[in-house]
Amino acid sequence: MRLTRKATAMALVSCMALSMTACGGSKPAETAAPTTAAATEAAKETEAATEAAKEAETTAAAAAEAAGGDMADKKVGISIYKFDDNFMTLYRTELERYMVEELGFKKENITIQDGKGDQAEQTNQIQNFIASGVDVMILNLVQSSSAPQVTDMCKDAGIPVVYINREPDVAEEERWASEGLQATYVGADARQSGTFQGEEIVETANKGDINGDGKVSYIMVQGDPENVDAQYRTEFSIKALTDAGIEVEELMLQRGDWDQAKGQQIVQDALTQFADKVEVVFCNNDAMALGALQAIDAAGRKVNEDIYLVGVDALTEAVQNVVDGKMTGTVFNDHFGQAQTAADMAVKYLNGEAVDPVNMVDYVKVTSENAAEILEKVK
């Protein structure tokens, strides 16, 4: 696992230093009255936190040393396509943690902007990064089709750019190589995640054909169709079935834009319209699968008994659902590996090293067999 023990310890320490709300999200605040035992415990925790903080400083310094340069005065501009996205929130948290705790960047030199799902707004943020003289940018574009224009802006300003999560097209990636541009992409091959989702259905006892009519009838809940992730997951999940010689019937395909509420609405409508005909619900991500599960529960259907449900990302809640048999499977979209690779590529640019145009991190299939183990890694 790329989340090292040290990193886990550090994450815990920052949690102690911050409030429970900041780190635990929904966890309720501690309200117990202080006792002597509690005070001793608190003192021990503070001591452990100080120790770990010291260790972190040493680690960061050592990492910066190993990275070949001091990152402390480097300025980084990061823009995320929108903050209100479960997966990209995990990603951005890990990106910042890794850069500060393990690569020696200063938190105050890292600016992270919310693209708010608006390309014009994001382009504006990029222009501001250029004006403020950042040394490198890490960009999760709102529209991957704007990569050529953004790359040229960065090139004119002499600033290297690391694109993440939303992959620009192949022609653009080839242009970076042929023109020797300082631009690179870090992501994961969405064809692999789609294939894994399809395989999870093929691997069920009845190969997805619950009603035994010789074909798998499914609904597809798609992410934002501008994203390669949505296009490939839609295509390759079904391809895994047809490659296995299984006949398929698409009852409905609708865009849910990676959003839980939209996923819930789409599946609710589909179950009203097609009822028992629906055997499999494919969701391009877990947020939409969590919405789908709400609709499935409300309709009185039972996952793995009279309907199958798969997602992608391995959000903690989704992996827990796989453990509990409430989702058939998901696919781990390794935000630790992707965030760390993106930051490592930024460091390479800052050290004047060459960077490959495309850097892919593997997905991992998550089924009832390994869900408990994956849960340990992601929670």
DSSP state of 353: -
CB of 213 closer than 8 Å to CB of 249: no
Closer residue to ligand GAL (CB): 102 or 199: 199
- How far apart are CB 147 and ligand GAL at their closest, in Å? 14
88 binds ligand GAL (CB under 6 A): yes
- How far apart are CB 277 and ligand GAL at their closest, in Å? 27
Q: Report helix, strand or coil for 111.
A: strand
Q: Which of 229, 259, 334, 344 is in the footprint of ligand GAL by CB under 6 A?
A: 229
Residue 23 amino acid letter: C
Residue 175 amino acid letter: R
DSSP state of 107: G
CB of 127 closer than 8 Å to CB of 371: no
Closer residue to ligand GAL (CB): 163 or 176: 163
Segment near ligand GAL (CB under 6 A); pick from 61-69, 83-91, 97-105, 264-272: 83-91
CB of 269 closer than 8 Å to CB of 263: no
Question: What is each CA distance from 144 to 8, 64, 141, in whole angstroms?
Answer: 33, 31, 6
333 binds ligand GAL (CB under 6 A): yes
232 binds ligand GAL (CB under 6 A): no
Closer residue to ligand GAL (CB): 88 or 161: 88
Measured CA to CA, the distance from residue 239 to residue 248 in angstroms comes to 10
Q: Which of 105, 218, 232, 258 is in the footprint of ligand GAL by CB under 6 A?
A: 258
94 binds ligand GAL (CB under 6 A): no
> Which residues fall within 8 angstroms of residue 211, CB to CB, at 6 or more apart?
276, 277, 279
- How far apart are CB 254 and ligand GAL at their closest, in Å? 16
Site size for ligand GAL (CB under 6 A): 15
Other CB atoms within 10 A of residue 192 CB: 18
87 binds ligand GAL (CB under 6 A): yes
CB of 278 closer than 8 Å to CB of 219: yes
Name the region of 209 (left: φ>0; alpha: ψ -120 to 50; beta: rest): beta
Closer residue to ligand GAL (CB): 165 or 217: 165
- How far apart are CB 223 and ligand GAL at their closest, in Å? 6
- How far apart are CB 165 and ligand GAL at their closest, in Å? 5
Closer residue to ligand GAL (CB): 104 or 223: 223
Q: Which of 227, 264, 341, 367 is in the footprint of ligand GAL by CB under 6 A?
A: 227
Measured CA to CA, the distance from residue 85 to residue 223 in angstroms comes to 12
Name the region of 214 (left: φ>0; alpha: ψ -120 to 50; beta: rest): left
Measured CA to CA, the distance from residue 379 to residue 376 in angstroms comes to 6
Closer residue to ligand GAL (CB): 296 or 312: 312
Closer residue to ligand GAL (CB): 6 or 117: 117
285 binds ligand GAL (CB under 6 A): yes
165 binds ligand GAL (CB under 6 A): yes
For the chain, state the CA radius of gyration: 22
312 binds ligand GAL (CB under 6 A): yes
Token pair listed for 367: 């089924």
Q: Which residues in this chain contact ligand GAL in the complex, by CB under 6 A?
A: 81, 85, 87-88, 165-166, 223, 227, 229, 258, 285, 287, 312-313, 333
